Amino acid sequence: MRALLTVLAFATLATGCIGGESGKPPIVGIRNMYNQPRYDTQERQPFFADQRSMRPQVENTVSREMDIGLAWSTGRAVQGDAWLMQVPADIVARAGGSQAFLDRGGERYNIFCAPCHSISGDGKGMVSRRAAALGASGLVATSLHDDRLRHIPDGQLFATITNGLRNMPAYAHNISVDDRWAIVHYVRALQLSQAPAAAPENTEQSP
Distance CA 51, CA 45 (A): 5
Quote the pLDDT of residue 155.
Answer: 92
Distance CA 123, CA 139 (A): 11
Q: What domains lie within the chain, and their CATH numbers? A: 75-112+144-193 (1.10.760)
Residue 109, CA distances (Å) to 68, 83, 154, 156 in order: 25, 22, 15, 17
155 and 85 Cβ atoms separated by less than 8 Å: yes
Identity at 79, one-letter amino acid code: Q
Identity at 65, one-letter amino acid code: E
Quote the pLDDT of residue 107.
Answer: 96
Torsions phi, psi for 83 (to 5 deg): -75, 150
Torsions phi, psi for 168 (to 5 deg): -85, 125
Quote the pLDDT of residue 35.
Answer: 74
Sequential pLDDT tens for the chain (207 residues): 666 666 666 656 555 555 567 777 777 777 677 777 778 878 888 888 888 888 877 787 766 666 667 788 888 887 767 898 999 999 999 899 999 999 999 999 999 999 999 999 999 999 999 988 988 888 888 999 999 999 999 999 999 999 998 888 899 888 999 999 999 999 999 999 887 765 444 444 443
Q: Which residues touch 189 (CB under 8 Å, ≥6 apart)?
A: 102, 105, 106
DSSP string across 91-138: HHHHTTSHHHHHHHHHHHHHHHTHHHH-TTSSS--HHHHHHHHTT-GG
Measured in whole angstroms, the distance separating CA 49 from the mean position of its chain's CA atoms is 33
Q: DSSP code of 165? A: B
For the chain, the distance separating the N- and C-terminal CA atoms, rounded to the nearest angstrom, is 127
Quote the pLDDT of residue 202.
Answer: 43
